[in-house]
Structure 1
């Protein structure tokens, strides 16, 4: 471990971290809902692995007493996201179609495989970032959270947007790479590289569990 990385991780108080779980919902994770995205077998496997790792991560956070914040997309059936409709189909005033993800009250908006525990806060967003138009920042501040770890789907979209806003609002960010995925390996890799450059320290489920435990020593530091 380099001097810089040891300093970065050691500076994080395990008692004041939080885990942000982003968009692990049926519209984005359930194979039955992903047909329109054109995933190949490797991409399906990567999404499944990320969901499994996220489940493990949630269990580890709970065991360590780390608060878990659930962030999900929720689109009102009568209020389309005009900019997204324009970007995807060229018509900003197009009505919501049958393939619209995470419409409130539909199966697509449900959590997939992992679910919030009793008392764990849920933030429903209308856009990519969990901080956009929500109370997430106020909740984290009120709870005394000083840094966050981010996991979920998809790496280049809602994970990246949420991590970027967290950094811009003052929270150091750890990106849990093996608990994230995109719908193509090259897209995931490019997103991780971009986030590592400007937004987050990239970690994995094993290391973040050690961070939560505060178990780093000077003996691990290399030049």
Structure 2
């Protein structure tokens, strides 16, 4: 561990958060419109998430899964407004991510064990309306390591919210990616400046193996 702040976590229970590793955000067939670089970044991040999960399970660190789940009859009005959609525009369209009843909501390349906690969310923030903070505090969790997709959206919002809820927050850089490298790098810089320690998986291997 090179960062002295990581040493301060050794005696605290932690949890690994897996954010939105779903087909809408990770499946190369769905992401065919992205650049080759972006698809490669996502593929590498999914491998990083899988490695982080394996370490956490081996060490007994809690793994919590966050999944975007959008009811087809209940859109998120603020999101539609932000994207320039009028209230009477047809919805959902075929490109809407993670809609119930579509393949986009499915896990991609990783999936939870029966005993692992899975929480459905409606927004970018994995803490909003999910009870995640209360659950983690109830477990005595002192720190969280955030992985998943995408770094400039749901990982950014979830990590910032984790910090706001009082958790010492890590973001695992090689287990997250975005669909644009520039915005991804900017998101990691913002997190590192204000709310999270940005690490590579190798730096927190010991933490994941010692819950």
TM-score range, shorter chain: over 0.9
Once the two structures are superposed, the pairs formed by residues 15-54 of structure 1 within 5 Å of their partners are 16-35=13-32, 38-54=33-49
Which runs of structure 1 show a deviation greater than 4 angstroms over 4 or more consecutive aligned residues?
none
Partners of 1:85 and 1:91 within 8 A in 2: yes
Segments of structure 1 that go 5 or more residues without pairing to the other structure are 215-223
Supply the distance in 1 between the matched residues of 2:112 and 2:35 (Cα, whole angstroms).
Answer: 29
Segments of structure 2 that go 5 or more residues without pairing to the other structure are none
Paired residues in the alignment total 209
| Equivalent in 166, 186, 190 of residue 190 of structure 1 | 186
TM-score (norm: length of structure 1): 0.89
Q: What is the RMSD computed on CA atoms of the aligned residues?
A: 1.5
TM-score (norm: length of structure 2): 0.94
Please tell me whether Structure 1 or Structure 2 has the larger radius of gyration of its CA atoms: 1
Q: Secondary structure at the match of 1:98?
A: coil
Higher relative helix content: 1
Q: Secondary structure at the match of 1:19?
A: strand
Once the two structures are superposed, the pairs formed by residues 164-203 of structure 1 within 5 Å of their partners are 164-203=160-199
Q: How far does the alpha carbon of each residue in 1:69-96 deviate from its partner, in whole angstroms, 9 at most, with x for none?
A: 0001000010011111111233245321
Does residue 100 (structure 1) correspond to residue 96 (structure 2)? The answer is: yes
Partners of 2:60 and 2:209 within 8 A in 1: no
| Equivalent in 60, 66, 86 of residue 65 of structure 1 | 60
Partners of 1:27 and 1:33 within 8 A in 2: yes
